[in-house]
Amino acid sequence: MNNKIYDVIVIGGGPGGYVAAIRASQLGLSVALVEDKHLGGICLNWGCIPTKALLRASEIKHMLDNVNEFGFSVSNIKVDIKKVTERSRKVASQLSAGISHLLKKNKVKVFNGFAEIDKNTDQIKKVKIKSKDGINTELAKNIIIATGAKSRNLPFVKSDGINVWDYKTAMTPQDLPNSLVIIGSGAIGMEFASFYNDLGVKVTVIETLTNILPNEDEDISKIVQNNFIKRGIDIKTNTSLKSVKIDNNSVSSEISTDGIKSLIKSEKLILAVGIIANTQNIGLEKFNIKIDKGHIVTNEYLETDEKGIYAIGDVTGGPWLAHKASHEAILCVEKIAGLSNLTPLDKSSIPGCTYCRPQVASIGLTEKAAKIKNINIKVGKFPFIGNGKAIALGDSEGLIKTIFNNDTGELVGAHMVGPEVTELIQGFSIAKKLETTEHELMHTIFPHPTLSEGMHESVLDAYNQAIHY
């Protein structure tokens, strides 16, 4: 142990951790970051980024299968899954190296190893770092826990990397399976369903709730479900997985739909049933830190009940999104640095995106949630079939739905499914942040021809003024 006392030690180098370290350095704080695997965390190495590279490949396959609509003819299309996954891994490696450069540029000391926090004095904490070279101890005035999360298993089945896959195995298949069952229809499950279906795999999705993408507005999830069914994906809602048997590299899944049991056989099974926060073996039990449903509890500025110890990202409460973690990182560090006029995170203003085909994006309350809150609402809808740019692109399936408070004009929620909506949602994010009313949105000039015109029309429709629908 040396005599240096860091202002901040960040544990975890994901989209929360590395952003916290860089912002702390920008504010003049002395910073160290500890990462035991890969800079960039799950998001950059095994989640957000490489999955988008995979999905881009499957989208290209879909486009090639349908180029005749645009006047081209292509034959003998083949998929080399090893090259597809190889490109995905290269994208992740390139960005991970970029994070290393950014940390170095911002004079953040990086330790490679596994961190465990320990008590020292009321003002100073210890961080023990275990690496291949042994154990060393560093001191810090403040600690930010950004250890992320890992995929969840079920009590009776867990990933074995051969027949039962987690997201890591599903991203690096050696060969394409003939058939695949996916347990869970959240964003991860839907993206894998879309990817493998476009590459010719027979896909079945199992969801315990009534709708797939259960966190999305029902109108949106129904459009995705209908699209998937048309593509040949078998969707089984109100269905639970009861048991799994593996025999001769074949997976037999016993399921129950509305109390009726049946058996599905597949070559592989993907578990996409949520995450578990990485809180084990990092020393939390030595401090006054609350855990609720497996996640660290913090106040609005991400501080735990132990003064000087903060937690951000997936190790805390949901939604479990990379951009939420990065935003929490900035807020947390600016609080440590003593900046004033800070605005706590408003979870209702966090956009969510799912990159399946068709894409899904949303922000704020669903129509059902708004009604439960007894908000007097006006709802607007505009289908992409009425949008000239979408028709020209040959991708006109989808809908933009906006929900307003009829008493105040506040944008309560926006929900989108269709072409490039994950890029469009930021428009509604800005509108919500600026507390824009329906009047201001209705009198905003949207360029033509663009997909964004559908956003304008949806707002107009909420007030019975839509022009093209």
Residue 357 and residue 62 in contact, taking contact as beta carbons nearer than 8 Å: yes
Joined together, the tokens standing for residue 185 give 């229809």
pLDDT-derived band at 188, boundaries 50, 70, 90: very high
Q: Are residues 18 and 125 in the same domain?
A: yes
Are residue 27 and residue 61 in the same domain, yes or no? yes
Q: What is the C-alpha to C-alpha distance for residues 414 and 363, in angstroms, rounded to an integer?
A: 5
Report how many helices (DSSP H) and strands (DSSP E) the chain contains, helices first: 13, 24
pLDDT at 248: 82
Name residue, tokens 């089984």: 236
pLDDT tops 60 at residue 126: yes
Q: Give me the mean pLDDT over the 231-250 stretch.
A: 94
Average pLDDT, the chain: 95
- Distance (Å, rounded) from C-alpha 437 to C-alpha 416? 19
392-412: average pLDDT: 97
Tokens of 428: 């509604």
The answer to whether residue 38 is catalytic is no
Establish if 157 belongs to a structural domain: no
**Catalytic residue, candidates 439, 448, 456, 468:** 448
Tell me, yes or no, whether 287 and 142 share the same domain. yes
Mean pLDDT, to the nearest integer, of 279-292? 95
What total number of domains does the chain contain?
A: 3
Residue 112's SS3 state is strand
Q: What is the DSSP letter of 67?
A: G
Q: 468 in a domain, yes or no?
A: no
- Decide if 349 is inside a domain: no
Which residues constitute the domain of residue 309?
5-150+276-336
Indicate the residue among 273, 302, 323 that finishes a domain.
Answer: 273
Average pLDDT on 371-390 reads: 98
Assess if residue 382 is contained within a domain.
Answer: yes
User: Rounded to an integer, what distance in angstroms lies between the CA atom of residue 279 and that of residue 285?
Assistant: 10
Q: Are residues 269 and 280 in the same domain?
A: no
- Write out pLDDT tens, residues 127-161: 999 998 899 999 999 999 999 999 999 999 988 98
> Is the dihedral angle over the CA atoms 187, 236, 164, 196 positive or is it negative?
negative
The answer to whether position 52 is within a domain reads yes
What CATH number corresponds to the domain at position 196?
Answer: 3.50.50.60
**What is the pTM assigned to this prediction?**
0.94
Q: Is position 296 within any domain?
A: yes
Residue percentage of the chain with pLDDT more than 70 = 99
What does 260-298 look like in DSSP terms, one character per residue?
EEEEEEESEEEE-S-EEE--TTSSGGGS---EETTEE--
Tell me the mean pLDDT in the region 17-28. Answer: 98
- Whether 1 shows a pLDDT value over 70: the answer reads no
**Pair (136, 14) in one structural domain:** yes
Q: Residue 344: inside a domain, yes or no?
A: no
Q: 287: pLDDT confidence band, cut at 50, 70 and 90?
A: very high
Q: Which pairs count as long-range contacts for 343-350, CB under 8 Å and 24+ apart, including other chains?
A: 344/300, 344/301, 345/300, 347/319, 349/429, 349/432, 349/433, 350/319, 350/321, 350/323, 350/324
Are residue 128 and residue 267 in the same domain, yes or no? no
CATH code where residue 438 lies: 3.30.390.30
